[in-house]
Structure 1
Amino acid sequence: MIPLVDVKAQYEPFIPELKERFAEVLESGRFIFGPEVEAFEREAAAYLGVPQAIGVANGTDALVLALEAMGVRRGDEVICPAFTFYATAEAIARAGATPVFADIDPVTLNLDPVAVAASITERTRAVVPVHLFGRPAPLTELAALGVPLLEDAAQAFGARGIATTGVCSTFSFFPTKNLFALGDGGLVACTEDAIADIVRKLRFHGSRDKQTFELIGTNSRLDAIQAAALRVLLPHLAGWNRARREAAGRYAELGLGEAVELPTDDGAHVYHMYVVRTPERERIAEALDEVGIASASYYVTPLHLQPAMAYLGYRPGSLPETERAAAENLALPMWGGIGLDQQERVVATVRSAVGVAV
């Protein structure tokens, strides 16, 4: 069996160190906030090159808190892609704003700046580019449109060039991410101290000190145990991302591109998922499954066609490139450490499924 991602293979070598760090947290009795969370926030901010980073409970909360801290309110519009995980648009709606879906670039699968420009109105408060599957969105072009950016970087921790353009960037530490916790966790990275200060209050019931409540906030805190795990794993992220990029290169070298359309790479992609495109998706997925190789198709029903978003009035055909990507994408096994023999099996199976000589 070849899994889509082998999380255990990445953290297993560090189990002794993780246990040692967990024991220190247990001995301290500090499970909420405390030195582990503070240290991880400093280390994450330094890694990303931003002034401040704030640990929160999960990636969805990170989006909601960042939007609220940026001043997004009811009646505002926020532009985002529809080819992404539901949390991107869900967070906009939870903040009280209206999601406005713009189409994607067919090559990068990220927001198309031309489509975004055509979607801006006097009510537009922010744009949320998603660094989809680990490939950075076109931040320079989007920033030139003059609307504040909130980078949804849940899938792209460690990708070059992210986090320093947007007002905020948000991250998820769900266990399959490039940088992962051993449970849920999230982060808001801020380029402005004033916004960071609001996020810190919002994550703790709108308070600095549990005595005076300045805002209507929520309870969204990164656990000390998860912060301890993240501190153990963060120093290995660059190596894992290099290994992912090397694995992506091997897929191309092994001839996968003769059977499917490979993802593009501008040199900054960190391959949270290795996603190809093909009109033969179902045939390939069935062939892989028959030999015990996992695959997955993402966002098959894009956000603008999801039942919860029906009130926005989108119809099939509204976002043609988004809908085509939803019908053609297929993720193949990828993680930091996937073996050559495993990739050879994947490529041979894909090529055989579409009639390309192995």
Structure 2
Amino acid sequence: MKVPMLDLREQYQGLRSEVLDVLDQVMSSSRFILGDNVKKLEQDIAKFSNVAHGIGCGNGSDAIHIALQALDVGPGDEVITTAFTFFATGGAIVRVGATPVYVDIDPVTFNIDPVKVEEAITDKTKAIIPVHLYGQMADMVSLKKIADKHNLAIVEDAAQAIGAKQNGKSVGELGTAATYSFFPTKNLGAYGDGGMIVTNNDDVAEKSRVIRVHGSKPKYYHHVLGYNSRLDEVQAAVLNVKFPHLEEWSELRRQKAAIYTHLLNEQLSDSVKTPVEVEGNYHVFHQYTIRVEKRDELQKFLNEQGVSTMIYYPLALHMQPVFSNLGYKEGDLPETEQAANEALSLPMFPELKIEQQEYVVAKIAEFYRK
């Protein structure tokens, strides 16, 4: 049996006629940049996030960068974040001229540890970037208390967590701003790149809108050094077709996750640590990520059996060569480094069949029996 990590073909077939129809409408209108489709998506995603503003941009990486710039984070500032994340989180901090300060994670959730955040605060700290990894929100209640106490901004990196909640609060409600990615593999994915900033802060919203169009307002009059990062009409039109299905897809992901957890705990409780959904959280399972020993050997075996898996992330940011100037060394973030050696994400998408899941678990069991 072949079990892909992700298969978007079935999703597309269900939406095909509607997608082709809206694409034809965009082509016929000849309005490709910042038109009605972008405006509708911005309004809908903002409402979905229970915030006032949505600002579409070119991708999720730019969304973090723009949000930091809109918060006047720059040279001389420090931004505390997790090293167990995709490069974009740390890269955005450096691109605005600030210094990333990497702290360790909670080993249960893989998310940033608020205790470590508070320990890392200095007089140079300007902001905190928690990453809602794999679809579960970080401990925003604790992080907001810390941020309020020290007068810090919070930019939630929610690239993997659109639709996630904590104690009934949505992504974006507890932070100063939150950022989404619409990369095709995301829970709400475009057919190319796309991203969005959501915020209740009027000033951050207005600055972000200016920054994304080369810092101009009005056009051709430039007051800040912005750059070109606009969500285009084609991607927004596709996302407008997909968006009404997002909550259903999230529920399906949660159902698939529950099946995995049941099967794995029933057969492999001594060999596999399954994901934990923290009480009060609504986990949208962008990834279903287990922790195992002999991870690399298991991945190789599963690949030979037709099962695709991914490692998010094999080398944490504090150990990346590009950040060697920051002076981190192996052992500085032990929980992060252990997670980087043990985490393995299994196939996860709304259309995943139970027969496929049973096959995946059976093959994992076969590996550990050997």
Pick which of 252-261 and 204-213 moved more: 252-261
Deviation of 1:215 after TM superposition, in Å, equals 1.2
Measure the CA separation in 2 of the matches of 1:352 and 1:317. Answer: 33
Alignment of 1:259-338 (within 5 A): 259-266=271-278, 267-338=281-352
Instruction: Kindly provide the CA deviation profile for residues 230-282 of structure 1, in whole angstroms up to 9, marking residues without a partner as x.
Output: 00000000011100000000012223552310011134111111110011212
Deviation of 1:24 after TM superposition, in Å, equals 0.7
2:44 is aligned to: 43
Alignment of 1:1-358 (within 5 A): 1-146=2-147, 147-160=152-165, 161-256=170-265, 257-258=268-269, 259-266=271-278, 267-355=281-369
% same residue: 44
SS where residue 205 of structure 2 aligns? helix
Measure the CA separation in 1 of the matches of 2:12 and 2:324. Answer: 41
Would you identify which runs of 4 or more consecutive aligned residues in structure 1 move more than 3 Å?
none
Measure the CA separation in 2 of the matches of 1:239 and 1:189. Answer: 22
Deviation of 1:29 after TM superposition, in Å, equals 0.7
Would you say the 8 A contact 2:264–2:274 is kept in 1?
no
Measure the CA separation in 2 of the matches of 1:31 and 1:196. Answer: 22
Would you say the 8 A contact 2:61–2:88 is kept in 1?
yes
Deviation of 1:21 after TM superposition, in Å, equals 0.3
Measure the CA separation in 2 of the matches of 1:125 and 1:269. Answer: 29
Measure the CA separation in 2 of the matches of 1:9 and 1:309. Answer: 40
Query: Amino acid of the residue matched to residue 308 of structure 1?
Result: V
Measure the CA separation in 1 of the matches of 2:175 and 2:364. Answer: 39
TM-score, structure 2 as length reference: 0.94
Would you say the 8 A contact 1:111–1:130 is kept in 2?
yes
SS where residue 55 of structure 1 aligns? strand
SS where residue 133 of structure 1 aligns? helix
Unaligned runs of 5+ in 1: none
Unaligned runs of 5+ in 2: none
Measure the CA separation in 1 of the matches of 2:346 and 2:355. Answer: 14
Aligned CA RMSD, in angstroms, stands at 1.1
Deviation of 1:12 after TM superposition, in Å, equals 2.3
Instruction: Kindly provide the CA deviation profile for residues 297-338 of structure 1, in whole angstroms up to 9, marking residues without a partner as x.
Output: 122111001010000000000100000000000010001121
TM-score, structure 1 as length reference: 0.97
Would you say the 8 A contact 2:49–2:172 is kept in 1?
yes
Deviation of 1:11 after TM superposition, in Å, equals 2.6
Deviation of 1:222 after TM superposition, in Å, equals 0.4
